[in-house]
């Protein structure tokens, strides 16, 4: 455990919450993906598929950590896990908010497929921007996500509305 804490620069026990949440999120995502791939198979196959997918996702995440550690300025390495969790929760939340909203408005029946996808994506991106800063604040990474948000808005051509 000491080696793990040292590797992730964890100095207080409460900081272990974020690697724990990261592993839970990784296992849940792996389970959901295995259910998409293997729909009506025995449980043991789903468990094996979940573990294989979790292993592959863990390898991918660790590669991303190494790459983004140099790009993102964080005080300790464990904060990268916290940032990844914010991105995951934000993406899921924005879809969970928009889908019922559009179902209530019955836009899918009134718009053709391409136009619906454009409207859906635009509304998801709008909620994503708001939720990203909110969850960043909630997870204690407001400064990181506020500067990330400003960069993203500038790329969308909306930088003139920001005051620095």
Give the predicted TM-score (pTM) of the model: 0.72
pLDDT for the residue numbered 151: 85
pLDDT, tens digit (0-9, with 9 covering 90-100), for 28-85: 989 988 988 888 888 888 899 999 999 999 999 888 888 888 788 777 778 888 888 8
Instruction: Kindly state whether residues 130 and 86 are assigned to the same domain.
Output: yes
CA–CA dist 107, 112 (Å, integer): 9
Considering its fold, how many domains does the chain have in total? 2
Please report where in the chains the tokens 């449980």 appear, as a residue.
43
Which of 20, 52, 71 lies at the terminal end of a domain, its last residue? 71
pLDDT band at 161 (very low <50, low <70, confident <90, very high): low
Q: Which of 45, 71, 97 is the C-terminal boundary of a domain?
A: 71
What percent of the chain is predicted at pLDDT more than 90?
A: 16
Tokens at 86, concatenated = 């914010």
C-alpha 81/C-alpha 159 separation (Å) is: 28
Domain that holds residue 144: 74-164
Same domain, 84 and 139: yes
């Amino acid at each position: 455990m000491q080696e793990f804490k040292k590797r992730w620069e964890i100095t207080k026990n409460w900081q272990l919450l974020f690697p724990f949440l990261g592993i839970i999120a990784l296992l849940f995502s792996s389970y959901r993906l295995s259910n998409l791939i293997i729909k009506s198979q025995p449980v043991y196959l789903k468990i094996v598929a979940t573990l294989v997918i979790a292993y592959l996702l863990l390898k991918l995440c660790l590669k991303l950590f190494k790459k983004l550690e140099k790009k993102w300025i964080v005080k300790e390495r464990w904060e990268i896990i916290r940032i990844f969790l914010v991105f995951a929760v934000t993406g899921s939340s924005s879809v969970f908010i928009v889908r019922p909203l559009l179902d209530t408005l019955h836009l899918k029946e009134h718009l053709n497929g391409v136009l619906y996808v454009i409207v859906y994506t635009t509304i998801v991106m709008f909620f994503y921007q708001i939720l990203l800063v909110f969850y960043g604040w909630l997870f204690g990474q407001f400064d990181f996500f506020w500067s990330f948000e400003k960069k993203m808005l500038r790329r969308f051509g909306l930088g003139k509305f920001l005051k620095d």
